[in-house]
Amino acid sequence: MTVNCHVTRRHASGRKHVCLRRLPYKLNDCAAFQVPYLIQHTLKPTKHQEDIVQKMTTNTGHVAPPGSAWDQMALHMERMTQTVSVAPANELVIKLNSLLSFGQSSAILDTGCGGGLVTSRLLAIYGPNLPTPTPRILACDFSDGMIQQVQKRGQKETANGNPFWSAVETEKHDAQDLHGIQDGSFSHAMGGLVFFMLPDPQKALSETKRVLKEGGVIGLSSWKTSQWIDLMYGVSKESDDAMKATLTTSWSSTEGVVNQLEVAGFRDIQAVEVDTSMPYDSHEEFCNFLLTQLPHMKKITSTWPEEKLRRAEQDTVARMKMMSPKAPGNLSGTAVVAVGRK
């Protein structure tokens, strides 16, 4: 397998040069994952959603206790997407290390950390190469639930004898406002599949740059394209317009992501494309997840009458079956991973 690599440099004249390279890349077949801001628990489930949860828990041999249908659905969907973000996360930490070795790190920030996938991949791949004592690793997110996931992951890893997770700290922060974090306090910053989802990505990039030391490095990822995004575009004309407003070419192309980093003032920028896939067990379960739990779609569908939502799910299932007829199966996608230096 190969990935497309875009490297941008500025000549002394100020001209920008962007070149494309083909690099060998082998996907790491591991199970850790994270889709930032994926699960939110603010809406009461509809009767249709509860029916699906009951079917899911029956099929998997688990019995949902009274009142926990929404939590059971979230947990099931988290498991269902367990591999989608691994390849981009691996490439993110690898490219970041190539720009500035983690062996020279003084402190590492994982902004918009979600469930802690990028931190997990960092420690799995480069834990033994970190300085001694292990530098501070700060995982922050605006969601209490995500912070709790990181804490649970760290407790489990530490209990299993992993010596590197003891350096991981968690704090609640909005990636667009890292108030309380000192200027120039980190050598490395990571943001896996988060910046493009924010209301003001440039504000988040500015905040990340502020807390980086001079010469410090940033690594981030975004979606270029995916079959699940195509499904979201086609839900209806109204939602198609809304989705295009949030998932623009500013973040869905290699050149766009490079430009975002340049506008924020980063240099020595490199970007690659990484293929990945999202597994699913059932077309119906996946489409319900897509339309009712992903934040961008929930903004659209949360106000719909139940019958309209049901029709939209049926239409989405039909289109998904045309893309990928078999169940269980996989939907394909391509992520953009980019790094730069302050």
pLDDT of residue 237: 55
Q: Is residue 170 part of a domain?
A: yes
Q: Is residue 247 part of a domain?
A: no
At 210, the pLDDT band (50, 70, 90 cuts) reads very high
CATH number of the domain that 206 lies in?
3.40.50.150
Distance, CA of 286 to chain centre: 18
Q: Is residue 191 part of a domain?
A: yes
pLDDT of residue 297: 79
pLDDT at residue 314 above 50?
Answer: yes
What's the total number of domains in the chain? 1
Closest CA to 279 of 87, 83, 98, 67: 83
Quote the mean pLDDT of the chain: 78
Q: Is residue 80 part of a domain?
A: no
Q: Is residue 249 part of a domain?
A: no
What per-residue string of b and e applies to 13-50 under the rule 16 or more CB within 10 Å gives b? eeeeeeeeeeeebebbeeebbbbbbbbeeeeebbeebb
| Residues of the chain above pLDDT 90, percent | 55
Q: Is residue 235 part of a domain?
A: no
Q: Is residue 69 part of a domain?
A: no
pTM of the model: 0.75
Domain that holds residue 275: 2-38+88-225+254-281+333-341
Poorest-pLDDT segment among 32-41, 95-104, 318-327:
32-41
Tell me the DSSP string of 1-28.
Answer: -EEEEEEEEE-TTS-EEEEEEEEE----
For residues 324-339, average pLDDT: 96
CA distance 39 to 37: 6
Q: Is residue 320 part of a domain?
A: no
Beta pairing class for 168-172 and 136-141: parallel
Query: Which one is predicted more confidently, 3 or 1?
Result: 3
